Amino acid sequence: MIKLDYKNVSSLVIGEKNGLNLENEFLEYKNRIKDIIIDLNQRKDKPGQWLQWMNLGYSEETVWYVKEFASMVEGRFENILVLGIGGSALGGIAVTEALLKPYWNLCSKEQRNNYPRIFFLDNIDPDSIKGLLDILDLKKTLVNVITKSGSTAETMSQYMIIKDMLEKELDDDYRKNIVVTTDQKIGVLRQLADQEGYKTFVIPDDVGGRFSVFSAVGLLPFALVGLDIDKIMSGIKDMDLALKNTDIFENIAAQGALINYLADTKLGKDISVMMPYSSRLRYISDWYVQLWAESLGKECNKNGEKVNVGTTPVKALGATDQHSQLQLYNEGPNNKLITFIRVENFDNTLEIPKIFEYTGIGYLGGKTINDLINAEADSTKVTLADHSRPAMTIFIDKVDEYNIAELMYMLEVQTAIAGELYNIDTFNQPGVEQAKNYTYALMGRAGYEDSAMNLQSKISSV
Ligand code: PA5
């Protein structure tokens, strides 16, 4: 089970001005947290609450269908190409980067145990799309188009380009190279997929994009590249059980949520830095940034009052960003809460040879790279405390399916609890929808004509 160490948020360590009296705060919020946890668990099965993500760990049916499809196509494709953006891509990127052998796409087929390479197109830079399409043999590529709404312009335009290319290369057989993950009923892609006869997977109702990683959105690509999705499900289930505990003193998601909330509202720490000390967890930060930003950055609270809340999530990587951002964290404005993620057991131990003994780098010889990264993480934590900067650390035993699922599910629940503390709707994203609608208008989508005229005048006046 993953652990949370919040000692360096305590006023006993970093002083009253920048720290929290956690014992008192936990006691003060004990009942409120209990009510929130009970409420989330009671509401999770009700339609329209957008809490179905809390049930994904138990969806044996999805696992079965995903495994069935993965075994059906095993050995047929050299590449998986995922088309998606935001919540339809970030979880997949985070998990595959964490769990696949590092530099997976550069490994030989044998090193990949015959599983395919995997690529994510989550942007619409024409140069990078063209660059990838130039090197992929589409005939040997399974394209997984992922979009909850079934109409996102970025994903749909990529799909249109690639479908056209596939059809030219494969004639009618092109359909076998496309698998779609989308809503069961709504959206343009759902209609097209049904007409074209693609294999489809469903993103369940009431699961928002940023909470969808453990639906077929993530599970399908994970299974296709040989990740153990049963272990992922076990990690979610065990964490879900642990987080049903309504006692703030024993629930790490509640602790993380409350600390973030109080650091913001009481201490003015309105920047939330996520800093794993593991390159493999680098994209967990990207995923977390979206989860936190889109969920908590809201104009109005549930009563309709204008509140403009939300702390700004920032991603950092240890030890790399000690040489980039740490100066600011230590000496710049004291407005950040830093969350480290530490891996207790790396898969490898890398010894530094005992050479150059009589030089200034001789002290490194005989130690391991593991010693070094741990020393750097400890040093950063202490130096931040020396400067009265609050920080907490999530410890995970190792980077594997079980632990990554626990970590990500815990962060989802933490976000949901934080949203309740702010009294906002955690699961909508009107700010994202507004930009999407503007794009539709500018690209000439029917029904958006008035908005298009309005926008053109705003654009030309800038
Ligand atoms: O979290 C969200 O809801 C968004 O980031 C969406 O995932 C993103 O906009 C992509 O939407 P869709 O999956 O509908 O293509």
pLDDT of residue 440: 82
Å from CA of 412 to ligand 1 middle = 16
* Rounded CA separation 411/392 (Å): 14
Q: Whose CA is nearest to atom 8 of ligand 1?
A: 86
Quick check: 459 pLDDT over 60?
yes
**H helix intervals, 356-400:** 369-386
Nearest CA to ligand 1 atom 5: 86
Query: Which of the listed residues 52, 85, 288, 296 should we mutate to test ligand 1's pocket, taking the one with most ligand atoms within 8 A of CB?
Result: 85
- Note whether 115 and 78 are within 8 A (CB): no
The model's pLDDT over 377-433, given as tens digits with 9 standing for 90+, comes to 999 999 999 999 999 999 999 999 999 999 999 999 999 999 999 999 999 988 877
Predicted local confidence at residue 455, as pLDDT:
81
pLDDT tens, residue by residue, 200-255 = 999 999 999 999 999 999 999 999 999 999 999 999 999 999 999 999 999 999 99
Residue 383: which residues within 8 A CB-CB, separation 6 or more? Answer: 326, 330
Helix, strand, coil tally for the chain in percent (to 5)? 55, 15, 30
Kindly indicate the confidence band of residue 461, based on its pLDDT and cuts at 50, 70 and 90: low
How many whole angstroms from 192 Cα to the centroid of ligand 1? 19
Compute the distance between CA of residue 42 and CA of residue 24 in angstroms, rounded to an integer: 28
294: exposed, middle or buried (Cβ count in 10 Å: 0-12, 13-18, 19+): buried
What was the pLDDT predicted at 349?
98
pLDDT (0 to 100) of residue 383? 97
Measure the CA–CA gap between 262 and 256, rounded to whole angstroms.
10
**At 187, which amino acid appears?**
G
Q: What is the mean pLDDT of residues 361-373?
A: 97
CA atoms within 13 A on the CB side of 251: 26
Q: How confident is the model at residue 365 (pLDDT cuts 50, 70, 90)?
A: very high
Round to whole Å and give the CA distance between 199 and 8: 50
Say if strands 306-309 and 298-300 run parallel, antiparallel, or are unpaired.
antiparallel
Q: What confidence tier does 103 reach under pLDDT thresholds 50, 70, 90? A: very high
- Read off the pLDDT of residues 258-272 as tens digits, 9 standing for 90 and up: 999 999 999 999 999
pLDDT at res. 442: 84
- Catalytic residue from among 294, 401, 412, 420: 294
Whole-number pLDDT of residue 462: 54
User: Ligand 1: distance of its center to the CA of 191 in Å?
Assistant: 18
Of the residues 50, 120, 148, 288, which should be mutated to test ligand 1's pocket, given the most ligand atoms within 8 Å of the CB? 148
pLDDT at 443 (0 to 100) = 85
The pick from 52, 90, 149, 433 for probing ligand 1's pocket by mutation, whose C-beta has the most ligand atoms within 8 angstroms, reads 149
- Atom number of ligand 1 nearest to Cα 152: 15
Q: Which tokens belong to 76?
A: 């047929």
CA-based nearest residue to 243, from 72, 416, 73: 416
Question: Does 387 participate in catalysis according to the annotation?
Answer: no
Q: 382 CB contacts (<8 Å, ≥6 apart)?
A: none
Task: Kindly list the distances between the CA atom of residue 235 and the CA atoms of 199, 215, 229, 302, 405, in Å, as whole numbers in the listed order.
Answer: 28, 14, 10, 32, 5
- The three-class DSSP label of residue 308 is strand
pTM for this prediction: 0.95
- Please state the atom number of ligand 1 nearest to the C-alpha of residue 86: 5
Mean pLDDT over each residue of the chain, to the nearest integer: 96
Could you report the per-residue pLDDT of 10-22, keeping only the tens digit for each?
A: 999 999 999 999 9
Nearest alpha carbon, ligand 1 atom 2 = 209
What phi and psi values does residue 103 have, to the nearest 5 degrees? 60, 35
**Where do we find the tokens 């000496």?**
331
* pLDDT of 364 higher than 60: yes
Q: Which of 61, 110, 305, 323 is catalytic?
A: 323
Strand order across the 336-343 sheet: 3-5, 391-396, 336-343, 271-276, 312-315
Q: What is the pLDDT of residue 22?
A: 97
* Alpha-carbon distance values, 18 to 193, 315, 340 (Å): 54, 21, 18
Q: Confidence class of residue 121 from pLDDT cuts 50, 70 and 90?
A: very high
**Ligand 1 geometric centre to CA of 84 (Å):** 8
* Strands (E) located in 283-390: 298-300, 306-309, 312-315, 336-343
pLDDT at 448: 82
Buried b (16+ CB within 10 A) or exposed e, 120-139: bbbeeeeeebeeebeebebe
